[in-house]
Amino acid sequence: MIESKIRSIMARVFGVSDAEINADTSNETLERWDSLGHMNLCLALEEEFGIELEADKVPEMTSFPKVVAAVSSAVQRK
């Protein structure tokens, strides 16, 4: 559930199809996932889930699985 919502948000932030977001997706594989794209991604996730990501987690969220993990833990803390 969380995973599919994150997939759709990432697809919209980076301008790709949902299918292009999978376990292998990382900041190495997506053209728009640069530092600015990363900031947009964090802000969009926070907005859509109503969460605040931990500052220390932000730089570590470099792949789809890591993003899912960070968002899940932030949602649980809410």
Residues forming the site for other proteins (CB under 8 A): 9, 12-13, 15, 35-36, 39-40, 43-44, 47-48, 55, 58-59
The CB-of-55 to other proteins minimum distance in angstroms stands at 4
Cβ at position 29, least distance to other proteins in Å: 19
Burial of 67 (0-12, 13-18, 19+ CB in 10 A): buried
In whole angstroms, how close is the CB of 63 to other proteins at the nearest point?
19
- 10 Å Cβ neighbour count for 28? 9
According to DSSP, residue 16 is labeled -
